[in-house]
Structure 1
């Protein structure tokens, strides 16, 4: 067994355990979608569908959407709603990290909390507000990545 096959088998076993712990059956389709999301962080449902279909030719786009919604609902996948783009998905969940989006090429990068903890989860409430428990805060940084910035300065 190659190192890649062993790593894939280990990850598949982790996903299987995670699915069972959330009362979901372990299916080839769910594992295929999870593998695609893991392999292509910040991918759209269409990109995930294409990657999953490479391994499972009979999986439909509709099935991928249904599986993504379910995996998001049970906390195995995070849906990222970015401006001017379809939803994106990732398997990095539970740490309340943020995202930086290049306004030139659309690349998305993960950004850890700037101060080392999650102060954005303890907001300052307006007077009279009905307080709630905050589970996640969506912070989106927008700017130009290094490649787009260099391209912009080299082409006046």
Structure 2
């Protein structure tokens, strides 16, 4: 199937169906050159598809927000983790496969994704709990997610 996007920024690598299942498929998600599906890359397609659509709609409607005078990435990530930051959360495409939590920030001066691995099984272990930042335009994210949505099957039964 193939790679959509750039691994150095954001990419989805669409793999084969899992054990001939119409509902489960291998999907690797790359963000900033890191695999955020490092522990389990099999997605449940109906959930994955709907979450892709939701992220696209959310990003298209997204207005810039204040980031409190540009706090450090770690401080902003921790703030988003402690508050109801659903409007910032993206790439929660399949809860069983995503090894990292991701938040999108779009301010007057920048557009980026902050992410951190939460799954203790992720390797290398030194990445777990660290906050990473990927500068990426909203339009790039939407284009990659839309191309992914258009490339996966909806014939689940």
Q: Decide which structure has greater strand share.
A: 2
TM-score exceeds 0.5: no
- For CA contacts below 8 A with separation 6 or more, give which structure has more relative contact order: 2
- Give the TM-score, by structure 2 length: 0.24
Q: Decide which structure has greater helix share.
A: 1
- Give the TM-score, by structure 1 length: 0.24
